[in-house]
Amino acid sequence: CSTAPLLENAHAFLVMRNLYAAAGRQLTLKFEVLNSEFNVLYARNPIHHIESRVKSPESIAAKLLKKGLPLTLESAMQNVNDIAGVRVVCSYIDDVYRVAEMVERQQDLEIVKRQDYIKTPNYNGYRSLHLDLRVPVYLSDRTEQVLAEVQIRTIAMDFWASLEHDIRYKADRSRLPAGINEEMLACAGKIAEIDRQMQDMYQRIKAAEAAPDAAPAETITN
Ligand code: 0O2
């Protein structure tokens, strides 16, 4: 779709883009600090990796068109929650909620929306915890509260969502081969089961390590 109205004023677009990129960098740094603090305290990292992006003009325009909203910069800034997007990929499901709690405790962030697609997955099996929030960006002459979307998910959820995003979410839905929706949902279910199993194994290993007097689970007796 045409991005011309969004890019009409090139300078204004660059100012906006810079603001959202700065918000993404501030959030990324926050997560890096939380991850390293957790590592110092508990000798492990809840966060596996962090990605940050500013939504492309094409994707902003597509979202505005889909919602029937004006194709202007003002409209984009008011109505598109995820122009600045930060994805936090964690090892285990518990880590997702641990990281979310840490974010919710940050006093300079204002949480404006919380969507838990892990407790209530999307129609297609999409799982992720979304926090839409305002982050302060300190400029030379003012502070802007910039809206950003943080998606927190496990490596397994990220595997499914990344592939699904490429092969289906952005595809022409009217031309999907029969059965794809059902197969995609079934894959998400299997992956969720593996996620639970990995977490369960991790917790059992940790519990065994914490109980040094307990007999080793597997001993060689010959
Ligand atoms: P892209 O290309 O990732 O940027 P909205 O309903 O979008 O107006 P909101 O609150 O932002 O408002 O929606 P939501 O539910 O938080 O979803 C926003 C983003 O979550 C999407 O952005 C995707 O990144 C991700 N998402 C949501 N549902 C799915 C899904 O079924 N599959 C995958 N792979 N990702 C999903 P965009 O702009 O749609 O896409």
Distance 39 CA to ligand 1 centre (A): 31
Percent of the chain with pLDDT over 90: 80
Distance 103 CA to ligand 1 centre (A): 20
Average pLDDT over every residue of 169-185: 81
Distances (CA, A) of 95 to 30, 40, 98, 99, 200: 16, 16, 5, 6, 13
Distance 199 CA to ligand 1 centre (A): 26
Amino acid 217: pLDDT: 58
pLDDT tens by residue, 113-157: 999 999 999 999 999 999 999 999 999 999 999 999 999 999 999
Pairing state between β 110-116 and 47-54: unpaired
Looking at ligand 1, which atom is closest to the CA of residue 115? Answer: 16
Query: Going by CA atoms, what residue is nearest to atom 16 of ligand 1?
Result: 130
Give me the torsion for CA of 200, 202, 208, 211, rounded to 10°: -100
For residue 169 and ligand 1, the question of a CB distance below 6 A is answered with yes
> What's the chain's average pLDDT?
92
Distance 11 CA to ligand 1 centre (A): 28
Amino acid 175: pLDDT: 79
Alpha helices in the chain (DSSP H): 4-7, 10-42, 57-66, 73-79, 93-104, 155-164, 180-210
Looking at ligand 1, which atom is closest to the CA of residue 62? Answer: 38
- Binning pLDDT at 50, 70 and 90, where does residue 169 land? low
For residue 115 and ligand 1, the question of a CB distance below 6 A is answered with yes
* Domains along the chain with CATH numbers: 4-207 (3.30.460.10)
Amino acid 116: pLDDT: 98
For residue 79 and ligand 1, the question of a CB distance below 6 A is answered with no
Pairing state between β 143-154 and 129-138: antiparallel
Looking at ligand 1, which atom is closest to the CA of residue 165? Answer: 34
Distance 13 CA to ligand 1 centre (A): 22
Looking at ligand 1, which atom is closest to the CA of residue 122? Answer: 31
